[in-house]
């Protein structure tokens, strides 16, 4: 009997001690004040102070503007939590950060959820259905402010670049790189290119030169040239003139 009670008593003592330790630890964490993840919500304080103003009461346009600025601050905090939460979770798993920072982030996330619900209700109190689009309007205004801030910093960046890189240095042109010869030695001068051989000019054939009729006929056919072509010659003016009889023809006339 005693052999059975000893292990049961041991299990009860161990699990009872763990339960008491966990309960006390949770109470201590609940009573402990964590350092706030975000600074004080200034836009919310401004809106609440304007809403509580009674003598004279704040106009509606001023309250709406203060509510929009409050929504813009909430959107900015939402974006920051979305960016920081995955990184902090990875660091917590690696043991690089403590539980205090992680618990502070979780507390800020819960507080931001309550803030969003409150802004939604306040917007619907002014105009019905405005709470559904107020955060979209706030996100567009936040993007516009970031773009405007970038454009406003352009003259400052330009002046800073001009101070670092003056105009004289900006106008310097780089020196041309000398050609490396085929030998591979950078110090030796590059050989001059060999001149191209001059091509002889062919004499132009005169356009006025004309071939003789005998050569034209001989090229066209194998028959001997006719007597008409033999008896006539071309003069210098280009006209045909009768050919003078040769000596053999004169001797034959004398014999007759």
Tell me the pTM.
0.54
Q: At what angle do helices 134-152 and 60-94 cross, to 10 degrees?
A: 80
In a domain, 254, yes or no: no
In a domain, 176, yes or no: no
In a domain, 228, yes or no: no
Q: What was the pLDDT predicted at 174?
A: 53
Task: Name the CA radius of gyration of the chain, rounded.
Answer: 55
- CB proximity list for 103: less than 8 A, separation 6 or greater: 29, 34
User: How many CB atoms are closer than 10 A to CB 209?
Assistant: 6
Write out the H or E segment, with its range, that includes residue 217: helix 213-220
Coil vs helix vs strand at 246: coil
In a domain, 125, yes or no: yes
Q: What was the pLDDT predicted at 63?
A: 93
Domain count, the chain: 1
Q: Tokens at residue 77, please?
A: 């905090």
In a domain, 61, yes or no: yes
Which residue range is the domain that position 161 belongs to? 37-168
Distance of alpha carbon 131 from alpha carbon 206, whole angstroms: 100
Q: What was the pLDDT predicted at 229?
A: 45
In a domain, 187, yes or no: no
The DSSP result for 82-123, as a single string, is HHHHHHHHHHHHHTSS-HHHHHHHHHHHHHHHHHHHHHHHHH
The one-digit pLDDT tens for each residue of the chain (256 residues) are 567 787 888 888 888 888 888 888 777 766 666 688 899 999 999 999 999 988 888 899 999 999 999 999 999 999 999 999 999 999 989 988 888 888 889 989 999 999 999 999 999 999 999 999 999 999 999 999 999 999 999 999 989 888 888 765 545 555 555 544 444 444 445 555 555 554 544 444 444 444 444 443 444 444 444 444 444 444 444 444 444 445 455 545 555 4
Residues in the chain: 256
Q: Tokens at residue 51, please?
A: 């809403």
Q: What was the pLDDT predicted at 239?
A: 45
In a domain, 137, yes or no: yes
In a domain, 244, yes or no: no
């Amino acid at each position: 009997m005693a052999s059975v009670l000893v292990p049961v008593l041991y299990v009860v003592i161990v699990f009872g001690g763990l339960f008491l330790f966990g309960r006390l630890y949770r109470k201590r964490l609940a009573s402990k004040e964590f350092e706030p993840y975000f600074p004080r919500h200034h836009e919310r304080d401004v809106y609440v102070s304007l809403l509580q103003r009674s003598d004279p009461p704040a106009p509606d346009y001023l309250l709406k503007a203060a509510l929009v600025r409050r929504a813009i601050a909430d959107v900015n905090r939402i974006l920051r939590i979305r960016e920081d939460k995955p990184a902090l979770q990875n660091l917590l798993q690696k043991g690089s950060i403590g539980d205090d920072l992680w618990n502070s982030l979780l507390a800020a996330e819960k507080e931001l959820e309550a803030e969003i619900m409150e802004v939604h209700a306040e917007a619907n109190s002014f105009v019905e259905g405005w709470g559904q689009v107020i955060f979209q309007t706030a996100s567009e205004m936040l993007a516009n402010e970031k773009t405007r801030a970038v454009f406003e910093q352009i003259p400052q960046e330009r002046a800073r670049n001009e101070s670092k890189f003056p105009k004289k240095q900006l106008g310097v042109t780089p020196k041309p790189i000398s050609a490396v010869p085929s030998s591979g030695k950078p110090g030796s001068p590059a050989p001059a290119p060999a001149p191209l051989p001059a091509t002889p000019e062919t004499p132009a054939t005169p356009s006025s030169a004309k071939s003789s009729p005998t050569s034209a006929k001989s090229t066209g056919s194998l028959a001997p040239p006719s007597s008409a072509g033999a008896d006539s010659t071309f003069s210098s003016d280009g006209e045909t003139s009768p050919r003078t009889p040769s000596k053999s023809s004169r001797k034959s006339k004398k014999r007759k």
